[in-house]
Amino acid sequence: MAANLIQFHLHPQESAVSEFLPLLRPHLPESNPLYNRLQARNNVPSRHCIFAATFAPSDTPPEIYTVMFADRSRHLESQIWVFNPLTRIASLSDVQKETLRDHLEASIYFFKTTQIPEAPGWPFSPILKYACLHEHIAAALVSVGEAKEAVPRLTRWNMWIVSTSGVAAGSAGKRALPEGYTVARVPEDQLDIVIATSSIPRQPSTLLLLPNVGLLDEQGVLVAWGYIGIDGSFATLYVLPKHRGKGLASRVAVELLGSLNRGDFKDLGYDGDSGFVHSDVYAGNMESEGVMKSLGGKVCWESSYLWIDSDKF
């Protein structure tokens, strides 16, 4: 069994971030989700997040490895991010595909058997919520999970990649906002409208720590907003229906990515140093695709969000 061949090792948080980031940086933008998720301010010690790899803390990383981050206490949100350098290869050989399957199967057993009773969400749900998986990693995990009928949820998206420096350089001649609107961070006392309009479960405590830009009308009421997600994704872009048709979505996007590139969100722990944002967009969502194109973005691979029922392993 793959779980007996591949072993994941826990890495202390204080050393894992400093060790993993230099390892991941040469693999941007493929590593962008994990690269940013490792640095999120939400990863406070009291949450007992998991930092793990297929090499021990004292070892030199091999050529092929898997690095993972998990916050298993987030029962209502995505929990697990994974990177393997095989995602940089366009087409994998059968041997490489088998290697990924071995690594991903081992990850399931690792999370199933890793007990953290001190964590705020303990006991953990047996459902492992993997997030923003590259198509190669998703294919391996689906293969392992479906063999045991252990995939209760799977969604697939187009992964758009945008260079934040490119957006900043192209915004010099940007159009002015329509009269009556001002740019500001999303007011804390108006988070209810952000949560109410989201199709993805959001918690106020999470939103308060994320980079964001809002547009306010003349009465100071929030009418449009955008958020950078906990993993550096362009996670939310929304305009209230009666304010649509004015180009506000693109304006919010440019303001948000420009601010990220300038380091305006360092107070939230996001310095934008990866140089990229990514966005999961359903194929055929013409409005979102149009915004991504206006930012110079391109579809680079397929992204998946995948649940695994570890009780079946």
Query: pLDDT of 177-207, one tens digit each?
Result: 899 999 999 999 999 999 999 877 777 888 9
Averaged pLDDT, 134-149: 98
**pLDDT classification of 20: cutoffs 50, 70, 90:** very high
Q: What's the chain's length in residues?
A: 313
186 and 74 in one domain?
Answer: no
Give yes or no: residues 24 and 44 share one domain: yes
Same domain for 182 and 108, yes or no, is: no
In this model, does residue 3 exceed pLDDT 70?
no
What gap in Å lies between CA 253 and CA 262, rounded to an integer? 14
The model's pTM is 0.92
What is the 3-state secondary structure of 24-48?
A: HHHHCCCCHHHHHHCCCCCCCHHHC
Co-location of 191 and 60 in the same domain:
no
The Cα-based distances of 313 to 69, 97, 103, 110, 122 in angstroms read: 21, 20, 15, 11, 20
Tokens representing residue 301 in the block: 């691979």
Nearest residue to 232 via CA among 42, 46, 102? 42
Residue 238: its pLDDT value, please? 94
Q: pLDDT for 164-178, tens place per residue?
A: 988 866 665 566 789
State the helix-helix crossing angle for 94-113 and 135-146, rounded to 10 degrees. Answer: 70
Residues 173 and 263 both lie in one domain:
yes
- Do 149 and 168 belong together in one domain? no
Answer whether residue 117 shows pLDDT above 70. Answer: yes
Domain count for the chain, please give it.
Answer: 2
Task: For residue 260, give the nearest of 287, 280, 232, 235 by alpha carbon.
Answer: 232
Residues 76 and 56 placed together within one structural domain of the fold: yes
On whether the CB atoms of residues 81 and 37 are closer than 8 A, the answer is yes
Higher pLDDT: 115 or 201? It is: 115
The overall longest dimension of the chain from CA atoms, in Å, is 64
Structural domain that includes position 177: 163-300
Residue 239 sits in a domain whose CATH number is 3.40.630.30
Same domain, 179 and 151: no
Q: Are residues 78 and 194 in the same domain?
A: no
Residues forming a β-bridge with 52: 10, 68
CA distance readout (Å), 146 to 5, 96, 119, 154, 310: 21, 19, 29, 11, 12
Give the CATH number for residue 6. Answer: 3.40.630
User: Does an H or E element contain 135, and which?
Assistant: helix 135-146
Pair (126, 100) in one structural domain: yes
pLDDT given for residue 198 in this prediction: 84
Rounded to 5 degrees, φ, ψ at 311 are -65, -20
- For residue 29, is pLDDT > 70? yes
Considering the domain architecture, whether residues 32 and 86 belong to the same structural domain is answered as yes
For the segment 60-67, the average pLDDT, to the nearest whole number, is 98
Q: Are residues 181 and 142 in the same domain?
A: no
